[in-house]
Amino acid sequence: MSFRRRAAILAALSVVLMATLLLAVLRSPRRRAPQGAGIPLAAAGTIDEVSGITLAGRDTIRLQRDSDGSWWVRTTERTLPARQSRVQQFLRQLADSSTSRRVTTRAELWPEFGLDHNSAQRVLLEAADGELLAEVVYGRRSESGDEAFVRFGAADEVYAADAAVLFYLERESIYWTELRLFGSTLSVDSIEQLAISADIGDLGGLPHRYSYRLQRGSDAAWRLTDERGEMAARADQVRELLAAVVSLEGARVAPAAPSADAAPSAEVTAELADGSRYRLEVYGEAGAEQFTVVASGPAVPLDANREPIFYLINDWTLGRVLRLPRDIVE
């Protein structure tokens, strides 16, 4: 048999084989998605209309959006600014979540999935006029842990869905509260001068009694001035200090403000190139594990009544801001 004839036979066999495979694929049954898969936990467009969120989980958290688009945490005592990024992350997670399958249509089986009224956790989304946009009820996690069992409102059906939203239901109210004293108003590079004074006998085992000023020169080099005079400051240490000031966070909101006659035991003042000033006042005694602090300045977080917010801060966190002069100079 000639080479040309053998090649023709092989080519014909290849065509027959490809045709057979194609026919098998066309005749094979299509793979179907599990029943109840792909139902969004929040209908399309719902997230954009949300102005109120209730998370009935570990705590009952109520979040409210104002006419400017800012989110607030409503408590029994007052309304505090929310950590905007965390609310947005939660809404994005909910919008991206959908069911993977339907588990049962029988309401009497709810307890098996942690969806009975005594065990279930809830996410409620409301419009500005109070209309209920969505109610997603969460039960227990699946055996694998990456899914949770859910139902919609009072409907009987139980579904499996991504368990990521449970993370937010397990958070306390402090997670949602803006604890950054300066919010997002300050940046390290925006600060031109920083003045620090302290009269705390003991902070982290060291006496903190000093007053000094840091100033950025025209050459971008920093200089420190105190009772000894002016001297060069270490750029890396100054930047570390500024970063600590900018990112300063309270451990929680203080239950009450200091007494009216209390004097601050330390003060930090930051001045920007445009002349605006931001101020931090520290209240507390030597040896305390927590101090009360309050910030002031343009656009710092205030409560819904435009009143300042006092925070409690741990001594070791405060120590990152109240730096000894000797640690900064070259």
- How much is the pLDDT for 16? 52
- Same-domain pairing of 192 and 172: no
User: Stretch 279-308: mean pLDDT, rounded?
Assistant: 93
- Same-domain pairing of 153 and 233: no
- Of the pLDDT bands very low, low, confident and very high (cuts 50, 70, 90), residue 5 is low
Answer yes or no: is pLDDT of 25 > 50: no
Answer yes or no: is pLDDT of 118 > 70: yes
- Same-domain pairing of 118 and 150: yes
Final residue belonging to a domain, choices 130, 149, 176: 176
Instruction: Indicate whether 182 belongs to any domain.
Output: no
- 106 vs 155: CA distance, rounded Å: 10
The pLDDT tens digits for 28-38 are: 555 567 888 99
Q: Which residue matches tokens 């300042």?
A: 308
Final residue belonging to a domain, choices 176, 203, 236: 176
- Same-domain pairing of 322 and 232: yes
- How much is the pLDDT for 27? 56
Percent of the chain beyond pLDDT 90?
76
Q: How many other β-carbons are positioned within 10 Å of the β-carbon of residue 253?
A: 20
- Same-domain pairing of 100 and 154: yes
Instruction: Indicate whether 13 belongs to any domain.
Output: no
- Same-domain pairing of 63 and 147: yes
- How much is the pLDDT for 11? 58
Final residue belonging to a domain, choices 142, 176, 210: 176
Q: How many other β-carbons are positioned within 10 Å of the β-carbon of residue 141?
A: 15
- 268 vs 280: CA distance, rounded Å: 5
- 330 vs 320: CA distance, rounded Å: 18
H helices of the chain, in order, are 3-27, 46-49, 84-96, 166-169, 173-176, 235-246, 315-319
The pLDDT tens digits for 269-293 are: 999 999 999 999 999 987 788 999 9
- Same-domain pairing of 245 and 125: no
Using only C-alpha atoms, the chain has a radius of gyration, in whole angstroms, of 30
Q: How many other β-carbons are positioned within 10 Å of the β-carbon of residue 231?
A: 14
Three-state SS across 46-115?
HHHHCCEEEEECCCEEEEEECCCCCEEEECCCCEEEECHHHHHHHHHHHHHCEEEEEEECCHHHHHHHCC
- Same-domain pairing of 156 and 202: no
Instruction: Indicate whether 100 belongs to any domain.
Output: yes
Question: Structural domain tally of the chain?
Answer: 2
- How much is the pLDDT for 67? 93
Least confident of 41-45, 93-97, 108-112, 157-161: 41-45
Q: What is the residue-averaged pLDDT of the chain?
A: 90
- How much is the pLDDT for 121? 97
**281, 283, 280: which is closest to 271 by C-alpha?**
280
Cβ neighbors of 94 (< 8 A, separation 6 or more) are: 41, 42, 47, 123, 136, 165
- How much is the pLDDT for 14? 64
Q: How far is CA 264 from the centre of its chain?
A: 30
- Same-domain pairing of 205 and 301: yes
- 228 vs 235: CA distance, rounded Å: 20
Instruction: Indicate whether 33 belongs to any domain.
Output: no
- Same-domain pairing of 62 and 172: yes
Answer yes or no: is pLDDT of 245 > 80: yes
- 222 vs 215: CA distance, rounded Å: 6
- Same-domain pairing of 202 and 315: yes
Tell me which residue range forms the domain holding 118. Answer: 46-176
- Of the pLDDT bands very low, low, confident and very high (cuts 50, 70, 90), residue 4 is low
- How much is the pLDDT for 58? 87
Amino acid identity for residue 119 in this structure: S
- How much is the pLDDT for 22? 57
**330, 320, 324, 321: which is closest to 221 by C-alpha?**
330
Instruction: Indicate whether 269 belongs to any domain.
Output: yes
- Same-domain pairing of 193 and 64: no
- How much is the pLDDT for 137? 98
Please, which residues bridge with residue 98 across strands? 40
More confident site: 53 or 144: 53
Instruction: Indicate whether 14 belongs to any domain.
Output: no
